[in-house]
């Protein structure tokens, strides 16, 4: 009779490090409650983890100190299991693209609708919602467990500005952008600027000028001329009354941004 321990060994030998409770019960020929009890015993030994109810990952010895697989190694499989379109976003995407100014405390994932964060061992996954996310340009990056969908460098830059509160604030965003710009393709940025809310482009342009990336800023300036109908605030949560205006970006500069250059 196949045991739960031999089941996960055989899965890992075939290069698969995830499974569901139902799959395990079918493979072992036992009831769901019975397989849960067996998996709990393996979990106590650190051999498996269940970052989401009914969804398990096999934890190799090198990751047992984390209590789980790293998020980037199971998020694609979990999202497939849930049927949710996704991509890695914000600080996590920036880090993947080489902008590791500050390691994010959680692996950040964009979905169409929000989900509760996952916390398992030392691994945390934060979900952010964007209704129009399916139009965002993405790239695929290899991980030891397969391919991970990641917002392109151009989309990442604009989302960092658009979701500044989830990215450590504008000071941190500006610091990350100074490293991310090396990965940005100017022509692809022109395409991505059309897909983004115009206020994101206005704020991004201001930060590019502030950090002396004028040539890249010039690439997105025309869309502000064409689309920006109103003066946008640099920080939405702060009043724009009396704030100086950045005429080039039609922006009320209602905060001082101080990147860590």
pLDDT, position 260:
83
Show the low-confidence residues of the chain (pLDDT under 50).
none
pLDDT, position 208:
97
Q: How far apart are CA 220 and CA 147, in angstroms?
A: 31
Between the alpha carbon of residue 126 and those of residues 63, 93, 97, 189, the distances in Å are 20, 13, 19, 26
pLDDT, position 1:
57
Q: Which domains does the chain have, with CATH numbers?
A: 4-63 (1.10.10.10), 71-252 (no CATH)
Nearest to 183 by CA among 206, 160, 203, 163: 160
pLDDT, position 103:
77
pLDDT, position 101:
67
Residues in the chain: 261
Residue 10 in tokens? 């055989």
Nearest to 77 by CA among 167, 151, 15, 2: 15
Cα 199 to chain centroid distance, Å, stands at 21
For helices 198-210 and 214-227, the axis angle rounded to 10 degrees is 150
Nearest to 90 by CA among 143, 148, 184, 153: 153
Taking a C-beta distance cutoff of 8 angstroms, is the pair 184, 154 a contact? yes
């Amino acid at each position: 009779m196949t045991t739960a321990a031999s089941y996960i060994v055989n899965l890992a030998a075939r290069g698969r490090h995830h499974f569901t409770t139902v799959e395990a019960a079918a493979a072992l020929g036992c009831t769901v409650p019975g397989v849960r009890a067996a998996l709990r015993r393996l979990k106590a030994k650190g051999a498996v983890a269940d970052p989401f109810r009914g969804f398990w990952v096999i934890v190799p010895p090198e990751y047992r100190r984390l209590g789980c697989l790293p998020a980037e190694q199971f998020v694609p499989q979990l999202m497939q299991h849930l049927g949710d379109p996704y991509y890695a976003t914000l600080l996590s995407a920036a880090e993947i693209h080489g902008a590791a100014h500050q390691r994010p405390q959680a692996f950040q994932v964009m979905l169409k609708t929000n989900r509760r964060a996952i916390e398992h061992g030392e691994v945390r996954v934060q979900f952010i919602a964007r209704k129009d996310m399916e139009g965002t340009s993405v790239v695929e990056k290899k991980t030891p467990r397969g391919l991970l969908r990641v917002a392109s460098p151009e989309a990442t830059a604009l989302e960092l500005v658009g979701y500044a509160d989830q990215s450590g604030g504008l000071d941190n965003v500006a610091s990350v952008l100074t490293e991310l710009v090396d990965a940005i393709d100017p022509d692809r940025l022109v395409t991505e600027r059309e897909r983004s809310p115009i206020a994101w482009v206005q704020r991004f342009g201001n930060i590019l000028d502030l950090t002396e990336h004028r040539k890249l800023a010039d690439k997105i300036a025309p869309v502000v001329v064409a689309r920006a109908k109103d003066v946008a605030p640099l920080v939405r949560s702060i009043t724009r009354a009396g704030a100086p205006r950045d005429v080039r970006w039609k922006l009320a500069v209602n905060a001082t941004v101080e990147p860590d250059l």
